[in-house]
Chain A
C-alpha cells in the first residue's frame, strides 16, 4: 500500500483528492442551501404564474403573467405599496436621526453612558410580537398608558381612542417600530464612531473648526459607510413589515395599515390563493432588489474605498 503514494504525479493526485474531498464535505451545505433557499424560491416563482390554490399546492393551471398584471391594475395593491413606502421612509428616517443622536451622545461618554448603552439593548432584544402586544396595550383607549400619561400631564382633557383613524394608526405603528429599531442603528453607528481616528478631530479643532463643523465635515463623511449599511438592512426590513402590524392593528382600521406583506399574507393564507400570493411576494422581492441595487451602488462608490 505504501508503494501507491510513490506514483509519478503525486502532487496532482493529492490535489485531485483534495478537490474530491472538498466537494464531498461541501455537499451537505450545498444541499441545504439548495433545499431550504433556492428550491422554495424557484418553486414560488413557478407557482406565481399559476392559480394554484393552497388546498392543493401542486403547481397547476398556468396563467402566464395574469397574477402580476391583475395586481398592477389593483387599487388595493398600489395603496398598500404607498403605505409601505410611507412606513419605510418615515420609520427608517426617524430611526436614523434618533440613532445617530444617541450614538453621538454615548460616544461623548456622559456620566452613566455604560448604563445607557446597555439599556439601549432592551427594546431591540424584545421580540417583535412582544413589542407589538406591548404597544397595543399602551395605545388602548380605555386603559392604555399613553392616555394615562397625556391625561395626567394635562395635555388631554379626556381619554381619546388612538387606533380608530387610519393615518393615526399607521403613524402609531411606526412609533412602535422606531422604538424597537433605533437601538440597532445607534449601536452600529456608535461602534463606527469608536473606530474613527481622533487625530482628524483634534487637528480640525486646532485649526479653529467648531463642534458643528467637525461633525458635519469630518465625522459624518467618515460615518457614511456605516450609515449606509444600517440603512440597507433597515430599509429592507421595514419594507417587509408584517408582524408588528398583525399584532397591533390586524391591518385596520379600514385597511389603513395593510402593507404589502400583510396583503401577501391575506392573499396566500386567508384567501387561500397561493399562486397570486406568490406573485405578490415576487413583486415585493423586485422592489427590495431595486432598493438593494441603489444602496450597493452608493456603498461601492470609489470615495468609500479606502
Chain B
C-alpha cells in the first residue's frame, strides 16, 4: 500500500505540473501574439518576410508577430485544417484569389470593408481589390499581383528569320512551323497543361484571347460555348502538329521554366518569377541574354476588335481570420505588411499593389531596384490590365478539377473538346445547385 500511495502522489504531482503548464499558457502577460501563415514560393523570400516581421515587432512592442511558411501546394489544405480548431492556429493567412469565395462561405475570414478608407481604395489597382472582394465585401488586403506573361527566345526567333514576337496565336503557329522546319527546336512552345490549376490558368488566358469567358453574367459556365470549344480544339491541334510540346500534358510551371531555360522552346507562358531565373541567372539557365517578354497574344478575330492581349490573373491577398481572438491587432499587421512604404522597400521579388509606385519618380526608383525590374515593371504595367480572374465561387476547387479533367480528356483524345467541356459544364451546374 505504501508504494501505491507513493505512485498516487507522484502522478498527482505530475498532473499538477501539467495543468499548471496549461494554465500558464492561458493567462497572457506579455505582448499579444499574432500568428501568420504565409508561403515560401514566388514573391518575397522568407528572409525578406522575416525582416518585415522584425520591423513591425520593433515598432509595436505590445504585439508579437510569429510567421510560418509552407509551399503553395500545401497552403490550402494547411489553412482548412487549421481553421477547424477554436481558436484557430493562425490569425493572419495568405489566401489565393480562387479560395476567397470558399473561405468566405466557410466563415474563415474577417470582413474589413469598413476598415478601408477611400484614399487607400483609390491608390491600389482595382484589379488588386477584385482579388479580396467577394459579393461586394472586402475580406483582406491585396498583396501579390501576378499574371502569366509571354516569354520568347530572341535568338531562336532571329535564326528563324523573325524580328518580332507573334502578336496573335495564329502568328505563333506560323512562326512555330518555320522554327520547327529549320530544326531549331523540336517543339516551339511548352505549356503547363498538367492536371493541376496551372492548366486552368493557361486555358483561361487562351479563352479570353478568343473572346470567350469562364462564366456568364449569371455565373453559369460559359467555357463550353463555341469560343471555348475552339480554344480546346486549337490546343489539341497544336499538339498534333508538334507546335506545342506534347509533354505539356504532364507539365506544370516549373517544367515549362526548365524546358525554356534549356533552349528547348522558343515560346513559353509563365508567371513573372521566370524572368529573373531564365533571363539573368547563369546557374539556372542556358539561355541567359536571349529571353525577352511581350504581351500574351490573342487570336486574330479578337485582335481585329482592337484587343491586344488576354491573360490570367494569379494573385493573392493577406486576410485576418474571422475566429481570431485579436482581429484588430492582426489587421494592424496586415496593413503594415501591405503598406505602400513596405511594398516599395521590399519590391525585389514582388511588385507593389499601389498604383502610385508606377508613376513619376517612384516608377524610376522601382525600375532601378534590381537587374530584373527594368524589364518586369514596365511589362507589368502593360500586361496586367489584360489579366482575367477566375470565378469567385465557393465550389471553385471542385469545379476546377472537373475542368482540368475535361482539358486532359480532350488532350489525351478520350473525348472530343465539345463533349469534354460540356461534361465539365454539367458538373459546374450540379455544384451550383448544391
- Whether, in the assembled complex, A161 has its beta carbon less than 8 Å from a beta carbon of chain B, the answer is yes
1/0 per residue, CB under 8 A from B, across A9-21: the answer is 0000000010011
Cβ contact of B264, chosen from A142, A158, A164, A169, cutoff 8 A: A142
Cβ contact of B7, chosen from A21, A164, A169, A254, cutoff 8 A: A21
Q: How far is the CA of A270 from the CA of B409 in the complex (A)?
A: 21
Check A164 against B258 for contact (C-beta < 8 Å).
Answer: no
- Whether, in the assembled complex, A225 has its beta carbon less than 8 Å from a beta carbon of chain B, the answer is no
Instruction: Provide the residues of chain A in CB contact with B247, threshold 8 Å.
Output: 140-142, 161, 163-164
A contacts with B: majority SS: loop
Q: How far is the CB of A277 from chain B (nearest CB, A)?
A: 12
Looking at A49-57, A65-73, A122-130, A192-200, the stretch in contact with chain B turns out to be A49-57
Cβ contact of A55, chosen from B108, B194, B398, cutoff 8 A: B108
Instruction: Provide the residues of chain B in CB contact with A251, threshold 8 Å.
Output: 195
Q: Given that A140-B255, A159-B186, A270-B401 are contacting pairs, would A253 and B80 also be in contact in the complex, using a CB cutoff of 8 Å? A: no
Task: Count B interface residues, CB 8 Å.
Answer: 42
- Whether, in the assembled complex, A252 has its beta carbon less than 8 Å from a beta carbon of chain B, the answer is yes
Instruction: Provide the residues of chain B in CB contact with A270, threshold 8 Å.
Output: 76-77, 397-398, 401
Instruction: Provide the residues of chain A in CB contact with B7, threshold 8 Å.
Output: 21, 24
> Which residues 390-405 in B have Cβ within 8 Å of A in the complex?
395, 397-398, 401, 404-405
1/0 per residue, CB under 8 A from B, across A237-271: the answer is 00000000000011111111000000000100111
Instruction: Provide the residues of chain A in CB contact with B397, threshold 8 Å.
Output: 270-272
1/0 per residue, CB under 8 A from B, across A267-300: the answer is 0011110000000000000000000000000000
- Whether, in the assembled complex, B126 has its beta carbon less than 8 Å from a beta carbon of chain A, the answer is no
B249 to chain A: closest residue by CB: A164
Q: How far is the CA of A272 from the CA of B3 in the complex (A)?
A: 52
- Whether, in the assembled complex, A165 has its beta carbon less than 8 Å from a beta carbon of chain B, the answer is yes
Instruction: Provide the residues of chain B in CB contact with A151, threshold 8 Å.
Output: none
- Whether, in the assembled complex, B196 has its beta carbon less than 8 Å from a beta carbon of chain A, the answer is yes
Instruction: Provide the residues of chain A in CB contact with B398, threshold 8 Å.
Output: 270-271
B406 to chain A: closest residue by CB: A254
1/0 per residue, CB under 8 A from A, across B1-38: the answer is 11110010000000000000000000000000000000
Q: Which residues of B contact A (CB under 8 A)?
A: 1-4, 7, 76-77, 80-81, 83-84, 102, 105-108, 186, 190, 194-196, 245-247, 249-250, 255, 258-259, 262, 264, 395, 397-398, 401, 404-405, 408-409, 411-412, 414
Q: Which residues of A contact B (CB under 8 A)?
A: 1, 4, 17, 20-21, 24, 53-57, 140-143, 158-159, 161-166, 169, 249-256, 266, 269-272
Q: 10 closest A-B pairs (Cβ-Cβ)? A: A252-B195, A141-B247, A55-B106, A161-B247, A254-B408, A163-B250, A164-B249, A271-B398, A269-B77, A57-B84
